[in-house]
Protein backbone atom coordinates (compact mmCIF):
# COMPACT_ATOMS: atom_id res chain seq x y z
CA UNK A 1 0.00 0.00 0.00
CA UNK A 2 1.22 3.48 -0.87
CA UNK A 3 0.09 6.96 0.19
CA UNK A 4 0.69 10.24 -1.64
CA UNK A 5 0.34 13.48 0.31
CA UNK A 6 0.32 16.97 -1.19
CA UNK A 7 -0.94 20.49 -0.52
CA UNK A 8 -4.18 21.63 -2.19
CA UNK A 9 -3.50 25.31 -2.76
CA UNK A 10 -6.94 26.25 -4.12
CA UNK A 11 -9.99 24.26 -3.04
CA UNK A 12 -12.72 25.09 -5.55
CA UNK A 13 -14.06 21.64 -6.42
CA UNK A 14 -12.02 21.31 -9.60
CA UNK A 15 -8.92 19.37 -8.57
CA UNK A 16 -9.95 17.20 -6.89
CA UNK A 17 -13.56 17.08 -8.04
CA UNK A 18 -15.55 15.25 -5.31
CA UNK A 19 -19.02 15.36 -6.84
CA UNK A 20 -21.51 12.95 -8.48
CA UNK A 21 -20.48 9.91 -6.46
CA UNK A 22 -16.81 9.89 -7.40
CA UNK A 23 -13.75 11.85 -6.40
CA UNK A 24 -11.63 12.40 -9.50
CA UNK A 25 -8.20 13.83 -10.06
CA UNK A 26 -7.90 14.55 -13.79
CA UNK A 27 -5.95 17.79 -13.77
CA UNK A 28 -2.77 19.00 -12.07
CA UNK A 29 -0.41 16.74 -10.10
CA UNK A 30 0.80 14.80 -13.18
CA UNK A 31 3.53 12.93 -11.27
CA UNK A 32 1.03 11.58 -8.75
CA UNK A 33 -1.45 10.60 -11.47
CA UNK A 34 1.28 8.82 -13.40
CA UNK A 35 2.60 6.93 -10.36
CA UNK A 36 -0.43 6.10 -8.20
CA UNK A 37 -1.95 2.64 -8.65
CA UNK A 38 -5.31 1.17 -7.78
CA UNK A 39 -5.30 0.75 -4.01
CA UNK A 40 -3.02 3.73 -3.42
CA UNK A 41 -4.18 6.53 -1.13
CA UNK A 42 -4.17 10.23 -2.04
CA UNK A 43 -4.31 12.79 0.77
CA UNK A 44 -4.75 16.50 0.17
CA UNK A 45 -4.02 19.00 2.96
CA UNK A 46 -5.05 22.64 2.89
CA UNK A 47 -2.53 25.36 2.15
CA UNK A 48 -1.78 27.39 5.27
CA UNK A 49 -0.78 30.28 3.00
CA UNK A 50 -4.10 30.54 1.16
CA UNK A 51 -6.17 29.55 4.20
CA UNK A 52 -4.34 31.20 7.12
CA UNK A 53 -5.64 30.57 10.59
CA UNK A 54 -6.98 27.11 9.79
CA UNK A 55 -3.77 25.35 10.70
CA UNK A 56 -2.76 22.12 9.02
CA UNK A 57 -5.90 20.27 8.01
CA UNK A 58 -6.92 17.33 5.87
CA UNK A 59 -9.13 18.39 2.98
CA UNK A 60 -9.70 14.89 1.60
CA UNK A 61 -8.44 11.34 1.62
CA UNK A 62 -9.23 8.87 -1.16
CA UNK A 63 -8.34 5.30 -2.00
CA UNK A 64 -7.88 4.96 -5.75
CA UNK A 65 -10.37 2.47 -7.15
CA UNK A 66 -9.87 3.12 -10.88
CA UNK A 67 -7.19 4.54 -13.13
CA UNK A 68 -8.43 5.63 -16.55
CA UNK A 69 -6.89 7.00 -19.69
CA UNK A 70 -8.29 10.37 -20.73
CA UNK A 71 -10.09 8.76 -23.67
CA UNK A 72 -11.83 6.37 -21.30
CA UNK A 73 -12.75 9.13 -18.88
CA UNK A 74 -14.28 11.26 -21.64
CA UNK A 75 -16.33 8.38 -23.10
CA UNK A 76 -17.57 6.89 -19.80
CA UNK A 77 -21.19 7.93 -19.23
CA UNK A 78 -20.67 7.82 -15.45
CA UNK A 79 -18.56 10.94 -15.74
CA UNK A 80 -20.71 12.95 -18.14
CA UNK A 81 -21.73 15.19 -15.24
CA UNK A 82 -18.08 16.07 -14.72
CA UNK A 83 -17.86 17.73 -18.13
CA UNK A 84 -17.87 21.44 -17.26
CA UNK A 85 -20.80 23.70 -18.10
CA UNK A 86 -19.22 27.13 -17.77
CA UNK A 87 -22.54 28.96 -17.55
CA UNK A 88 -24.03 26.55 -15.05
CA UNK A 89 -24.12 26.17 -11.28
CA UNK A 90 -20.88 25.77 -9.28
CA UNK A 91 -20.92 21.95 -9.39
CA UNK A 92 -21.42 22.06 -13.16
CA UNK A 93 -18.77 24.71 -13.71
CA UNK A 94 -16.00 22.97 -11.80
CA UNK A 95 -16.10 19.68 -13.71
CA UNK A 96 -12.65 18.22 -14.41
CA UNK A 97 -13.61 16.09 -17.45
CA UNK A 98 -12.27 18.87 -19.65
CA UNK A 99 -10.52 17.03 -22.48
CA UNK A 100 -12.72 16.09 -25.44
CA UNK A 101 -10.90 13.07 -26.82
CA UNK A 102 -13.24 12.42 -29.74
CA UNK A 103 -11.40 14.76 -32.14
CA UNK A 104 -9.20 13.23 -34.82
CA UNK A 105 -6.44 15.74 -34.11
CA UNK A 106 -6.24 14.91 -30.43
CA UNK A 107 -7.81 16.10 -27.16
CA UNK A 108 -9.44 19.53 -27.12
CA UNK A 109 -9.57 21.47 -23.86
CA UNK A 110 -13.05 22.67 -22.93
CA UNK A 111 -13.73 26.04 -21.33
CA UNK A 112 -12.96 25.37 -17.70
CA UNK A 113 -10.80 26.44 -14.79
CA UNK A 114 -7.79 25.45 -16.90
CA UNK A 115 -8.65 27.39 -20.04
CA UNK A 116 -7.71 31.00 -20.70
CA UNK A 117 -10.00 33.84 -19.64
CA UNK A 118 -11.51 34.03 -23.12
CA UNK A 119 -12.31 30.30 -23.09
CA UNK A 120 -9.51 29.28 -25.46
CA UNK A 121 -7.09 26.49 -24.66
CA UNK A 122 -4.27 27.08 -22.22
CA UNK A 123 -1.58 24.97 -23.83
CA UNK A 124 0.70 24.94 -20.79
CA UNK A 125 -2.08 23.66 -18.53
CA UNK A 126 -3.10 21.17 -21.21
CA UNK A 127 0.41 19.76 -21.53
CA UNK A 128 0.73 19.47 -17.75
CA UNK A 129 -2.65 17.75 -17.36
CA UNK A 130 -2.24 15.28 -20.20
CA UNK A 131 1.33 14.60 -19.12
CA UNK A 132 -0.06 12.74 -16.12
CA UNK A 133 -1.43 10.10 -18.55
CA UNK A 134 -4.16 8.89 -16.18
CA UNK A 135 -7.27 10.13 -14.41
CA UNK A 136 -7.48 8.84 -10.85
CA UNK A 137 -10.95 7.83 -9.67
CA UNK A 138 -12.24 6.92 -6.22
CA UNK A 139 -15.60 5.86 -4.82
CA UNK A 140 -13.96 5.17 -1.46
CA UNK A 141 -13.17 8.57 -0.02
CA UNK A 142 -13.97 11.30 2.46
CA UNK A 143 -13.95 14.94 1.34
CA UNK A 144 -14.25 17.49 4.13
CA UNK A 145 -14.30 20.76 2.17
CA UNK A 146 -15.08 23.64 4.55
CA UNK A 147 -15.11 21.14 7.38
CA UNK A 148 -11.45 20.24 6.84
CA UNK A 149 -10.17 18.60 10.01
CA UNK A 150 -7.08 19.56 12.04
CA UNK A 151 -4.30 17.02 11.94
CA UNK A 152 -3.22 15.78 15.39
CA UNK A 153 0.41 16.29 16.32
CA UNK A 154 1.07 12.56 16.28
CA UNK A 155 0.00 12.42 12.61
CA UNK A 156 1.97 15.44 11.40
CA UNK A 157 4.25 13.05 9.55
CA UNK A 158 1.64 12.91 6.77
CA UNK A 159 1.90 16.62 5.94
CA UNK A 160 3.86 17.67 2.85
CA UNK A 161 5.23 21.18 3.17
CA UNK A 162 5.64 23.16 -0.03
CA UNK A 163 5.18 22.01 -3.64
CA UNK A 164 5.44 18.48 -4.93
CA UNK A 165 4.31 15.45 -2.96
CA UNK A 166 5.41 13.08 -0.22
CA UNK A 167 5.13 9.33 -0.40
CA UNK A 168 7.77 7.95 1.98
CA UNK A 169 5.45 6.39 4.54
CA UNK A 170 5.60 3.04 6.27
CA UNK A 171 2.59 0.75 6.18
CA UNK A 172 2.14 1.29 9.91
CA UNK A 173 2.03 5.06 9.38
CA UNK A 174 -0.48 4.71 6.57
CA UNK A 175 -2.77 2.47 8.62
CA UNK A 176 -2.51 4.79 11.62
CA UNK A 177 -3.59 7.74 9.51
CA UNK A 178 -6.44 5.93 7.73
CA UNK A 179 -7.80 4.54 11.00
CA UNK A 180 -7.88 8.08 12.40
CA UNK A 181 -9.79 9.72 9.52
CA UNK A 182 -12.98 11.22 11.01
CA UNK A 183 -16.27 10.36 9.24
CA UNK A 184 -14.51 8.04 6.78
CA UNK A 185 -16.71 5.06 5.93
CA UNK A 186 -14.75 2.39 4.05
CA UNK A 187 -16.16 1.70 0.61
CA UNK A 188 -18.46 4.73 0.60
CA UNK A 189 -18.10 8.13 -1.10
CA UNK A 190 -18.53 10.84 1.53
CA UNK A 191 -18.77 14.59 0.92
CA UNK A 192 -19.23 16.53 4.16
CA UNK A 193 -19.21 20.14 2.92
CA UNK A 194 -18.75 22.36 -0.11
CA UNK A 195 -15.25 23.43 -1.16
CA UNK A 196 -13.66 26.34 0.69
CA UNK A 197 -13.73 28.60 -2.38
CA UNK A 198 -17.17 27.70 -3.67
CA UNK A 199 -18.44 31.24 -3.16
CA UNK A 200 -15.81 32.50 -5.59
CA UNK A 201 -16.88 29.77 -7.99
CA UNK A 202 -20.44 31.14 -7.83
CA UNK A 203 -19.34 34.48 -9.25
CA UNK A 204 -19.46 35.08 -12.97
CA UNK A 205 -15.79 36.00 -13.22
CA UNK A 206 -13.33 33.46 -14.53
CA UNK A 207 -10.76 32.32 -11.98
CA UNK A 208 -8.60 30.44 -14.48
CA UNK A 209 -5.61 32.69 -13.89
CA UNK A 210 -5.66 31.87 -10.16
CA UNK A 211 -6.20 28.18 -10.80
CA UNK A 212 -3.45 27.81 -13.37
CA UNK A 213 -0.87 29.62 -11.28
CA UNK A 214 -1.53 28.22 -7.84
CA UNK A 215 -3.40 24.93 -7.98
CA UNK A 216 -0.72 23.05 -9.86
CA UNK A 217 2.30 23.96 -7.78
pLDDT tens per residue across span 9-30:
999 999 999 999 999 999 999 9
Work out the average pLDDT over 193-216: 60
In a domain, 217, yes or no: no
* 67 dihedral zone (left: phi>0; alpha: psi -120 to 50; beta): beta
pLDDT per position as a tens digit, 35-86: 999 999 999 999 988 888 777 999 999 999 999 999 999 999 999 999 999 8
More confident residue, 153 or 201: 153
Supply the mean pLDDT for the chain. 90
Residue-level pLDDT at 2:
96
> What strands, in cross-sheet order, belong to the sheet with 23-25?
23-25, 134-138, 66-69
Domain count, the chain: 1
Backbone angles phi, psi at 154, to 5 degrees: -70, -10
Cα–Cα distance measured from residue 145 to residue 13, given in angstroms and rounded to the nearest whole number: 9
In a domain, 169, yes or no: yes
Split at pLDDT 50, 70, 90, the class of 201 is low
DSSP string, 32-61: HHHH--TT-EEEEEE-TTTSTTS-SEEEEE
In a domain, 215, yes or no: no
Residue-level pLDDT at 161:
86
In a domain, 216, yes or no: no
Is residue 207 over pLDDT 60? no
In a domain, 60, yes or no: yes
Is residue 213 over pLDDT 50? no
Which DSSP category does 214 fall into? I
Split at pLDDT 50, 70, 90, the class of 149 is very high
Is residue 214 over pLDDT 70? no
Cα–Cα distance measured from residue 124 to residue 121, given in angstroms and rounded to the nearest whole number: 9
Is residue 87 over pLDDT 90? no
Among 11, 14, 4, 62, residue whose Cα is nearest residue 34: 4
Domain that holds residue 116: 3-207
> Is 79 within 8 Å of 24 (Cβ atoms)?
yes
Residue-level pLDDT at 54:
76
Cα–Cα distance measured from residue 24 to residue 36, given in angstroms and rounded to the nearest whole number: 13
In a domain, 214, yes or no: no
In a domain, 27, yes or no: yes
In a domain, 213, yes or no: no
Amino acid sequence: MRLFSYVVVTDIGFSPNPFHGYLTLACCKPKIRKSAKIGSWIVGTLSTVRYPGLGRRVLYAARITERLYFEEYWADTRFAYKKPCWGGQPRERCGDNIYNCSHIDGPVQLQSFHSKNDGSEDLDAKARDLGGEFVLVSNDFVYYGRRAVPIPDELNFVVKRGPGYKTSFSEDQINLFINWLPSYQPGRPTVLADPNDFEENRSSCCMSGLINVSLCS
